A = this chain, B = another copy of it.
Amino acid sequence: MEGAYLIGARRVTGGKAFRGLDAATGAELAGDFPVTTAEDLETACRLADAAFDTYRETAPAARAAFLEAIAEALEARREAIVERCMAESGLPAVRLNGELGRTTGQLRMFAQVVREGDWADVVIDKALPQREPLPRPDLRARRIAVGPVAVFGASNFPLAFSVAGGDTASALAAGCPVVVKAHQAHPGTSLLAGEAIQEAVAKCGLPEGVFSLVYGPGNEIGTALVRHPAIRAVGFTGSRGGGTALMAAAAARPEPIPVYAEMSSVNPVILMPGALAANAEGLAKGYVASLSLFAGQFCTNPGMVFALAGSDVDGFEAAAAEAMGNVAPQVMLTSGILSAYEGGSAKLAGAGSVTEVAQGQPSGERTAGARLFATDAASLMADPALSHEVFGPSSLVVRCADMAELTAAIADMEGQLTATIHAVESDHASLAPLMPLLERKAGRILFNGWPTGVEVCRSMVHGGPFPATSDPRTTSVGAMAIERFLRPVCYQAVPDTLLPAPLKEANPLGLPRRAFD
């Protein structure tokens, strides 16, 4: 593999370079990946800006075909992508094949969304020339793309949330050119996905600036990208520290821009007494499987479980401890993530009010072992550090005296991506008062399942109040993600010849419209 970055149609090699690392061994992988120069970053942003007016006005059918061409180009590279990604991420083939399917499915869903045209939100207020005291002019609105978007690759979804992932797909669907800053942990995977997009851009005859891919260690290139005046919005999935740094950089620009950062969530799970009485063991097995899935490296990992003292929480904990004994140690995405996991879980283990319930099978030098902790609600509320996210295969069982204390502990939490409830019918009555609180706290409320496994569909909300995300009005998964990259424009008494196609009287694009007299 020859390392390179992509500036529009150009492939740049040579210069100061770095190498990808094998997540399992730390060994260097093939390919010298050049660090993007300031000049090339400037060119990428200038090309994106130059492509913007053309690309944003492509007909829905053309934009949809482009998204589908990316999906096809990714599939054509499936073997190479999965192989390289296994090495760079330490994730197994089954997961990465599934993730590639999710990535192409996501692109095809957005193709469908673009074709349907609701995103353009065309609204027409007809002229009322006879109205008293003043006539009303013809007024019509549509939504247009916000401008070039910077997307940051995510460590934990090297395909579905990186170069050709959800942020890129939704920004391209909205009509925004994209400049991706590759995650430093998977340069080869990023290049392969980037080449697929570059190929689709050429195949569809789009301006080259629709897509560029840049690399650079540390924050320098990323910060320069967010500060560039051509960039009008940012998509990011990663740590709270990284996300809040981007939020600050974006807010400090002469012209502030929105940052859509998906950051930090412990995803509380509530085990109701009836559910525990019915199936403590099954719940415990499901819990351990969810928290340890792919080393727990999910934004929606169930990091905290609440149950009432006096319910069958003891049986649940015992069964979970037993299940933990079967959890093999796993390679984590990077050595940095591994050491953060070790530090975070050691801090939990060392907290006076926390007991360690169980560990998974012993970890080796470069793998993470699963860990299960327990505490009580009063201790949790007394020590905010206990509810910080520990990214990896660990979780904390919280015993509550009663529903009132459980409710208080939930009320005390920060914003979350998800809130999960396990309940049977006899539990429902006592849950009714809790539902409004969960709505305030989380973007998704789910019953009798586990929060890992985020469906890509029309109604999905992978979002939530800060610090789960930087903007609770949005989602980074599902069809609604396109709305992040659109803004409304109103046209008053504009002659039909000068109206954009979506608003022309004859509706040549056949978009859905709402009209008001």
Contacts and interface: CB of A to CB of B under 8 A. Distances in A.
A105 interface: no
A136 interface: yes
Interface string A199-240: 000000000000000000000000000000000000000000
Contacts of A459: 123-125, 139-141, 490, 516
Given A414-B255, A494-B447, A497-B428, A455 B125 contact: yes
Contacts of A461: 141, 488-490
Contacts of A446: 137, 491-494
Contacts of A498: 428, 431-432, 435, 447
7 contacts: A123-B480, A141-B480, A256-B466, A444-B492, A445-B489, A446-B492, A447-B492
Given A125-B459, A137-B455, A459-B124, A144 B439 contact: yes
Q: How large is the interface on A (under 10, 10 to 19, 20 to 34, 35 or more residues)?
A: 35 or more
Interface in A269-289: none
Interface stretch (A16-24, A344-352, A468-476): A468-476
Nearest to A446: B492
A9 interface: no
A495 interface: yes
A464 to B, nearest CB: 9
Given A137-B455, A248-B251, A447-B495, 17 more contacts: A53-B436, A123-B479, A125-B458, A139-B460, A141-B480, A256-B470, A258-B471, A258-B473, A428-B498, A432-B498, A439-B489, A445-B492, A446-B494, A461-B488, A473-B487, A475-B488, A480-B488
B490 A472 contact: no
